[in-house]
Every structure is written in structure tokens, then in C-alpha cells.
Amino acid sequence: MSTQVTQVQTSVLNLLEERHSVRDYEVGHKFPKADLEKLLTTAATAPSAWNLQHWKLLVIEDEAQKEKLLPIAYGQQQITQSSVVIAVLGDLEANKNAEIVHGAAVAAGMMPQELKDGMAAQIEAAYQDPQTARDSADSNAGLISMQLMITAKAIGYDTCPMGGFDKTQFVETFNVPARYAPVMLITVGLATKPGHPSNRLALDQFTVSNSF
């Protein structure tokens, strides 16, 4: 193993180990546009089933909008202290992305037409079940959420994922279309206090070898 590869691995592992949920941020910090674009575009390289990218991100930077969000998130201070709040929404109709995504792949020579057609049939069959659509929206939105938090840490910011908010009120207040379901809020900003360290279960407490 080369030294260069070892250094890259160490850097990635350190990011994962150092990420903690931060609830105290530098108030008034404005997210540079280049940093925000880097954060979002890198997060969007997360994997997804059939590459349908089952997410929509509502980026909340405006202070008045954050004030509207504060009571919906039960008054948690990180909402208004953070530089930006990213609402991660799961796409309940991600099957509609298939033609856009896979059509472009065929045009670029990355996918044969027959594979695209076969996948389209699989996707439409799967999306006949509303529960499949909901499960896919939730699980794939979780993938981009984690990637977003790690990306933020890599470019010098801290985050806090938040599941504690009134999702019904969020939909109403922010006019979220029926196609999208709120999954979580992620606050992003410059930490003024480190995140609280937390305990983790021992390896043998959360893994099972081969079968129960």
C-alpha cells in the first residue's frame, strides 16, 4: 500500500470519526456561494437506487424563513444560529426521473438502450406500490443526508441532523408539493462549541455473523 493511499484513507477516516452533531454556531455567518454549491453538488454524488436520486433539497438561508422554521422545529436554537438549514425531502415520484437520468446516459454512450428499457419497466412496476415509493424516498434521502454532513465537515463546517420537527406544519408553511416528503433538517455552520462526544455500542452489540 502506498503512502499516498494511506494518507487519503486516514483523512477520510478522521472525518468520519470527528463528525459530531453541533448545536452552537457563529451567528450571522453567511455561507459563501462557492462553498454552498460545492457542498450541494458533492452531496448529490451519493448513490441511489436505479440512480433515480430520490431527493429534493430545500436550502433555507434567509433569516426570516429560518424564523418561520424555528417554532416548527420546536424552538431548537441551531435553526436560527446556523448559516443555512437544508431540508432533505424524499421524492415519492422518483420514477419520473428515470427518463431524464437514463436518457442522458444512453445519449452519452454510458448505457445501452435495451438496458434503459428494461430498467424503466422494473421501475414502473416497483412504483405501483406506494409503500415502495415511500421506503425508497426515505432510504435514499438518508444517503444524501449523510454524504452532505461528511462533505460539510471536509470543507470546514459542522452540522446537526434533526428529525424533531412538525413535518405536517413544515409542508404547509413552506408549500412543499405532495410529491415530496420531509425526511430531516440539517443545520450547517461554523461551530462555536464542539459537538458533544457520544457513546457507541460495542462491535459485538450491533453486528451478527452470517445469521441470527
Residue 5 confidence class, pLDDT cut points 50, 70, 90: low
Mean pLDDT score, 62-67: 98
Residue-wise pLDDT for 191-210, tens only, equals: 999 888 888 999 999 999 99
Question: Residue 22 pLDDT > 90, yes or no?
Answer: yes
First vs last Cα of the chain: how many Å apart?
Answer: 36
Residue 35 confidence class, pLDDT cut points 50, 70, 90: very high
Q: What is the CATH number of the domain that holds 182?
A: 3.40.109.10
Evaluate whether residue 207 is within a structural domain. Answer: no
Evaluate whether residue 116 is within a structural domain. Answer: no
| Number of independent structural domains in the chain | 1
Residue 110 pLDDT: 95
Evaluate whether residue 209 is within a structural domain. Answer: no
Q: Which residues of 36-65 are buried (b: 16+ CB within 10 A; e: fewer)?
A: beebeebbeebebbbebbbbbbbebeeeee
Residue 12 confidence class, pLDDT cut points 50, 70, 90: confident
The H or E element containing residue 91 is: strand 84-91
At 76, phi and psi to the nearest 5?
A: -70, 125
Evaluate whether residue 212 is within a structural domain. Answer: no
Q: How far apart are CA 33 and CA 11, in angstroms?
A: 25
Residue-wise pLDDT for 104-121, tens only, equals: 999 999 999 999 999 999
Evaluate whether residue 178 is within a structural domain. Answer: yes
Contact 141, 55 (CB under 8 A): yes
Evaluate whether residue 115 is within a structural domain. Answer: no
Give the relative orientation of helices 3-18 and 130-154 as an angle to the nearest 10 degrees: 110
> Range of 34's domain?
21-93+131-194
CA angle 15, 56, 179 (to 5 degrees): 145
Evaluate whether residue 101 is within a structural domain. Answer: no
